[in-house]
Each structure stands twice: as C-alpha cells, then as structure tokens.
Amino acid sequence: MLIRKRRFMLTWLAAAVGLLLLVPGNIQAIPLYSCAPGAECNGNEYGVSVLSHVGITYQLQYDIHVLNTYTGNKWTDVVAAVSLKNFVGTYSNFSLISAPGGLNNWNLSQLELNAGGCGGGPSGGLCAEAIMPYTGAAFLAGDILSWVFQFDTLDALSGTASIKYLYEDVNGKKVGSLGSFTINVPEPSTLILLGSGLIGLGILGRKRFNRI
C-alpha cells in the first residue's frame, strides 16, 4: 500500500511540474547566447524568446545573464539600453511590459540604438533606454536582467532577432563594446510538449493506481 501511495505522489508531482512549464511567465529566454571573445559582449550572455502569443499579440523577453567575466569593468556600471529588431515584418501597438527597476525608469523608442542611446535613425525595432544613467539596470554576477516587449502583428516571427545593448558607467559614459548580434528566438513549444508529456504521465499513473 505504501508503494502505491509513493507511485501516486510521484506521478502527480510530475504533472505539477508540467503545469508550471505551461505557464508563460515561467519560461526564460533560451538558449542564452555567448559570444567570443567575451569583450565583444561585455562578458555576459544574451537571449530572446517568445514569452507569450495570444491571437496577434506577442510578448518577447530579452534576457541578459551577468557572468563573473564582466570584461574587467566596474560592477557600478549599468545596462543603459537594449534593443530588438528584424524579428518580424510589420507590427503595431508596441509597448514595454516590464523592465529592471520598473517601467518608470525606461523610455521606449523605435529609433536605432547607438553609443548615445536610442537616438539613431529609424530602425523598425524596439529600443528601451534608461531615462537617466543612474536608472539603468544595475547588476552583480549571476543576475538575469529581463525586458519584456509587447506588440501586435499579422506576420510570422522570423525566428531570429538582431539585438543590441549599451553599457554605461555612473557618469553616463559608454563602457565596453556596443554589442550587436543576431540570435535565435525560440518559441516555448518544446517546453509545452514536455509539460504535456509530464501531465500525461500523471494521468496515466492515476489510472494505474485506480486499477490496483
């Protein structure tokens, strides 16, 4: 009888894990992208993923994973701006849903990110810039900084996105490289399939328990 109870608990634990994986808010941007040499990306890792997709409305999450190898710059530096572009053809009703430190610390623009911030030419992308240098995203080793962009589109996502990022010191001066890379944008379909499989195992386990 004790063995049956343990089996029942394990199968429903698997189902619970599956449900957690199905919740969009629990999906991190994966895989994270590292570039070599590390100085080109300030020694950190970057990723973008589809956080949610409801109708024509998408949410993309942009993550920065801060590593111990932060290029020898100071831990008083901040991420002053990030941008996404070339992820879809046309879009509308764009907004910033969340950002490090709160939305009041950031401005959203469609202009190109350059060494001076979101003030370049038209990019057709999304650029989030700290309203002041000291409101940028502070970080320590091991932190994961996340920005969530929302937009409407009738087009299919391209599967890749061009990302940029700007680091500044406490005086608003650029530090490190103004990064610019193209990375994959995975949808959370793999995680959803995994979650569904675990739920199926839970249901199957319950049926077997009931027959014993």
In the three-class reduction of DSSP (H, G, I as helix; E, B as strand; rest coil), residue 64 is classed as strand
Q: Pull the structure tokens for residue 23.
A: 């919740």
- CB within 8 A of 71, min separation 6: which ones? 38, 39, 42, 43, 176
More confident residue, 145 or 207: 145
Number of CB atoms found within 10 A of residue 150's CB: 18
**CATH code at position 55:** 2.60.40
Q: For residue 119, tell me if it sits in a domain.
A: yes
Q: For residue 107, tell me if it sits in a domain.
A: yes
What is the model's pLDDT at position 37? Answer: 58
Q: Which band of pLDDT confidence, cut at 50, 70 and 90, is reported for residue 38? A: low
- CB within 8 A of 79, min separation 6: which ones? 64, 100, 130, 136, 137, 139, 145, 165, 166, 167
Q: For residue 208, tell me if it sits in a domain.
A: no
Q: Between vectors from CA 172 to CA 178 and to CA 166, what angle results, nearest 5°? A: 20
Q: For residue 200, tell me if it sits in a domain.
A: no
What is the model's pLDDT at position 31? Answer: 52
What is the model's pLDDT at position 16? Answer: 42
Q: For residue 16, tell me if it sits in a domain.
A: no
Q: For residue 6, tell me if it sits in a domain.
A: no
Residue 126's Cβ-count burial label (10 Å; 0-12, 13-18, 19+) is buried
Q: For residue 207, tell me if it sits in a domain.
A: no
Once rounded to an integer, what is the mean pLDDT over residues 39-56? 88
Range of the domain at 124: 28-187
Of 204, 70, 57, the closest CA to residue 145 belongs to 70
* Domains contained in the chain, number: 1
Q: For residue 195, tell me if it sits in a domain.
A: no
pTM for this prediction = 0.75
Q: Which band of pLDDT confidence, cut at 50, 70 and 90, is reported for residue 211? A: very low
